[in-house]
Amino acid sequence: MSEIGGPIDDGGIAERDDPFTLFDAWMEQARKSEPNEANAMAIATADADGRPNVRMVLLKGVDHRGFVFYTNLESAKGRELTANPNIALCFHWKSLRKQIRVRGPVARVSDAEADAYFATRPKDSQIGAWASAQSRPMEGRFVFEREVAKYAAKYALTKVPRPPYWSGFRVSPLEIEFWRDRPFRLHDRLVYRRDDANAPWHTLRLFP
């Protein structure tokens, strides 16, 4: 069976001119087969002591500039990425038996881009962004519920502005690996690498 848009070469995964074209094809497949969020991805950061941290978030945008997600900048991941602006991502789709890993530096999206995305969120999610001191200790659930009620009342009749501590990060990948399961652990692994965000991509195959 061939990949979308091209034949399979001897290595198994059909190469494209750039990895984003291949990513888009796999994501389109995942949207049709995954029972829940096909755009869920694990993101790995490191704390001040160099200890890794990983959690699931949702991919909110992708183009040739990179992969975008949004968060509270004062959360653990926000603080860690501000101190060490490097990240690893992992998409895994069990229904497809496929995985994509990404590594590269991050940078904040523009305020205009963050404002535009925040405006598309449901109002309850916008209220939650104001109410949650994400990743910090909470005395009890009632504290959070009280904050939700406070901001819900404050913005009951008006649009909810984006909190100054809430924004997005764009990952500019230097490495993207496509992995596909095959019988007897004879998996396909195709890697795209480049030296910087303006450099051309080159590919190589890895032993499984």
Active site positions, annotated: 185
Contact yes or no for 174/159 (Cβ under 8 A): no
- If you count them, how many residues does the chain have? 208
> Three-state secondary structure along the chain?
CCECCECCCCCCCCCCCCHHHHHHHHHHHHHHHCCCCCCEEEEEEECCCCCEEEEEEECCEEECCEEEEEEECCCHHHHHHHHCCEEEEEEEECCCCEEEEEEEEEEECCHHHHHHHHHHCCHHHHHHHHHCCCCCCCCCHHHHHHHHHHHHHHCCCCCCCCCCCEEEEEECCCEEEEEECCHHHCCEEEEEECCCCCCCCEEEECCC
Distance CA 169, CA 106 (A): 6
